[in-house]
Amino acid sequence: MTDSTANEVDELDEVLAAGEARWTRHVQLLDWQPDYRIRGPEDPFTPTQEYAHQGHWLEVALAGLRARLDGTERPPRITDFDAQNAAWAEADAARTIEDAKEYATVMRAAYLDAAVGPARTDERVLTGLRFMLVDHFDTHFGYMVKGMLEHESMQWERMTAALDSHSRGKLHQGDDGVPWDATDIYSHLYRWMWVQFPRVEAFLATGEVPELDATVDELNALWRAEDKNAKFEAARLRAYRTRDRFRQMIGEVPIAKWTPRLVGLCAGNSFGHYQEHLGWIIRDA
């Protein structure tokens, strides 16, 4: 084995490992909530469409690769990606998520089966493999991060409208029977975003999210006691500033670093948390 071939094999192992991580991440997130609009509340793109989209492009790549390896005529080149994606989306409208996932899974396996052997000695095939299994998935995960921020923005507007329109008096009741007002909720949202900054920083450095210093109930009780004399405007300003920093943090996480655990932490302590309290406000109105 030459040094060049050894390097290509090493690169292939890296690409296959990265591709497997991307696929696992995609599957876990797409299966989490099948009706979730992964590109934001205004974009109807769903996990079903994402699976189908990946399946179509893997099938196209597979056809091109087979033609090249067999020395046969390549399929017609797709020149208008947007038009082709739109046509596929229309054709896939009736697909179920199970069907779309199966399609993507089968196409990915077939593409891997055809590409791995040649990629050991053919740099062009290796480059194509990296694009289809890593780069393309990363591009689409970037769309998901953007969608997460758009969901956050919409829910923050709903949350702050509810709090600002009722700045005094009870808004909802906690499980312990204690009433929560707008100041309590702003302080609470700030606290749960603020405590995540060192956890995310540690995750990016080590790959592990540190445990909290106490249970959720213990922290809530501690923070309620510490914030009992907070004023509405001060609590509101602190929440707004922390939320801005939290959004900035989300936008700065490298795409390759995202995992389902990190998505859950960021979503759960932003728009997921807002939705939880909005639901209680509606319940107790």
Contact 15, 130 (CB under 8 A): yes
pTM, to two decimals: 0.90
| Predicted pLDDT at 7 | 58
| Predicted pLDDT at 198 | 97
| Predicted pLDDT at 4 | 52
Residue 1 pLDDT exceeds 60: no
Chain segment 122-138, per-residue pLDDT in tens: 999 999 999 999 999 99
Residue 8 pLDDT exceeds 60: no
Domain 166-283 superfamily per CATH: dinb family like domain (1.20.120.450)
Domain ranges of the chain: 3-143, 166-283
Q: Which residues of 38-69 are buried (b: 16+ CB within 10 A; e: fewer)?
A: bbbeeeebbbbbbbbbbbbbbbbbbeebbeee
Chain segment 166-189, per-residue pLDDT in tens: 999 999 997 778 899 999 999 999
Q: What gap in Å lies between CA 119 and CA 117, rounded to an integer?
A: 5
User: 3-143 in CATH: which number?
Assistant: 1.20.120
In whole angstroms, how far apart are CA 159 and each of 2, 145, 249, 254? 62, 21, 21, 28
Contact 250, 266 (CB under 8 A): yes
In whole angstroms, how far apart are CA 247 and each of 37, 97, 151, 274? 19, 30, 11, 14
Residue 5 pLDDT exceeds 90: no
Chain segment 81-113, per-residue pLDDT in tens: 999 999 999 999 999 999 999 999 999 999 999
| Alpha helices, DSSP H, located in the chain | 3-32, 47-70, 81-91, 97-119, 123-130, 136-164, 182-194, 196-206, 216-226, 232-252, 260-268, 271-283
Burial class (CB in 10 A: 0-12, 13-18, 19+), 224: middle
Query: Letter for the amino acid at 89?
Result: A
The mean of the pLDDT values for the chain is 94
Could you say which DSSP state residue 255 is in? G
| Predicted pLDDT at 93 | 92
